[in-house]
């Protein structure tokens, strides 16, 4: 079994971005909006800021109280859209209730939408003309490419149909010429469907959901999910210890897909800069 090292691949992506920024003598800028006091969100935002500093991207953090109204949040997005010195805008999710993420994500200028959540960019993704690729699915593609895992003609099963991972992951795998099946909570004979996959990608957020009997011998298993166990340890969707005896390739959690999400955000911020300077 080959362990897919996300830390190694993400470091390569960030180094690539850093060298390109240095070569051109530019300073892309990413604005991150954080509403409320969610501890996990604060950690994610901190990690994004560290990554920005490491590659030469200027980062701006807008910390808003949980009492922020929808109108106030949209007004901030409007100001950032109008600011020519801001090239990427990211609104950290989830938003505290009763805020609605949909009008916020739709308000971000598509050229600054580094998460690829705007309906325009989602449509471009499915019509093969996307400038941005959603960070986590794009990170998975980067991992597959790095390890020379051929997707063409292969059966790919994706667990989860979210707008953030499952659906865009399907679009990207189709572009890699894989034959794609999306599974979800209503899928019949789920273990049998999964066991047919040459490439199995899980993004359901249920600890150790994918067991060895769901994995085809030699398959590439990509674990996007992450959960915290009762003892405080982190776990992916995949029962790692059992599945590693059967899989051909396997991502660890942590250290697999997680680092790739931030690395691809750095790439998207550079892309956003280019979109606004052409």
Tens of pLDDT, residue by residue, the chain (278 residues): 999 999 999 999 999 999 999 999 999 999 999 999 988 899 999 999 999 999 999 999 999 999 999 999 999 999 999 999 999 999 999 999 999 999 999 999 999 999 999 999 999 999 977 888 999 999 999 999 999 999 999 999 999 999 999 999 999 999 999 999 999 999 999 999 999 999 999 999 999 999 999 999 999 999 999 998 888 888 999 999 999 999 999 999 999 999 999 999 999 999 999 999 97
The confidence score (pLDDT) of residue 265 equals 98
> In the block, which residue shows the tokens 């051929």?
150
Helical ranges in 62-219 per DSSP H: 70-82, 101-107, 119-126, 135-146, 166-175, 190-194
The confidence score (pLDDT) of residue 52 equals 98
Name beta bridge partners: 224: none
CATH fold, domain 25-111, is Rossmann fold (3.40.50)
The tokens describing 101, both together, are: 């993420």
Identical fold, 25-111 and 135-258: yes
CA 183/CA 181 separation, integer angstroms: 6
CATH number, domain 135-258, options 3.40.50.720, 3.40.1360.10, 1.10.10.10, 3.75.10.10: 3.40.50.720
Q: Which residues are marked as active site?
A: 48, 92, 115
Residue 111 DSSP one-character state: G
Yes or no: say if 31 and 57 are a contact pair by the CB < 8 Å rule: no
Among residues 8, 75, 90, 74, the alpha carbon closest in space to that of 41 is found at 90
Extents of the domains making up the chain: 25-111, 135-258
The confidence score (pLDDT) of residue 218 equals 98
CA 106/CA 251 separation, integer angstroms: 33
The confidence score (pLDDT) of residue 151 equals 98
The confidence score (pLDDT) of residue 253 equals 95
Yes or no: say if 197 and 208 are a contact pair by the CB < 8 Å rule: no
**Predicted model pTM:** 0.95
């Amino acid at each position: 079994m080959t362990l897919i090292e996300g830390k190694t691949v993400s470091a390569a992506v960030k180094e690539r971005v850093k060298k390109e920024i240095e070569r051109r003598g530019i300073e892309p800028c990413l604005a991150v909006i954080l509403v409320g006091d969610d501890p996990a969100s604060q950690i994610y935002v901190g990690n994004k800021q560290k990554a920005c500093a490491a590659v030469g991207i200027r980062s701006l953090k807008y910390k808003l109280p949980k009492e922020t109204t929808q109108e106030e949040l949209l007004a901030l997005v409007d100001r950032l859209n109008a600011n020519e010195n801001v090239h990427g805008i990211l609104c950290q999710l989830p938003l505290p209730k009763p805020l609605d993420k949909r009008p916020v994500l739709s308000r971000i200028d598509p050229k600054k939408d580094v998460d690829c959540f705007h309906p325009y960019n989602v449509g471009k993704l499915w019509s093969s003309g996307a400038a941005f690729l959603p960070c986590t699915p794009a990170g998975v593609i980067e991992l597959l490419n790095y390890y020379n895992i051929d997707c063409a003609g292969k059966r790919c099963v994706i667990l989860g149909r979210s707008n953030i991972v499952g659906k865009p992951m399907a679009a990207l795998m189709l572009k890699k010429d894989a034959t794609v099946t999306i599974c979800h909570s209503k899928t019949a004979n789920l273990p049998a469907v999964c066991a047919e996959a040459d490439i199995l990608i899980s993004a359901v957020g249920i600890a150790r959901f994918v067991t060895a009997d769901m994995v085809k011998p030699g398959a590439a298993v990509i674990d996007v999910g992450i959960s915290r166990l009762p003892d405080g340890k982190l776990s992916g969707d995949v029962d790692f210890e059992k599945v590693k005896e059967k899989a051909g390739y396997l991502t660890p959690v942590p250290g697999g897909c997680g680092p790739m999400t931030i690395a691809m955000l750095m790439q998207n911020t550079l892309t956003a800069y280019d979109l606004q300077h052409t």
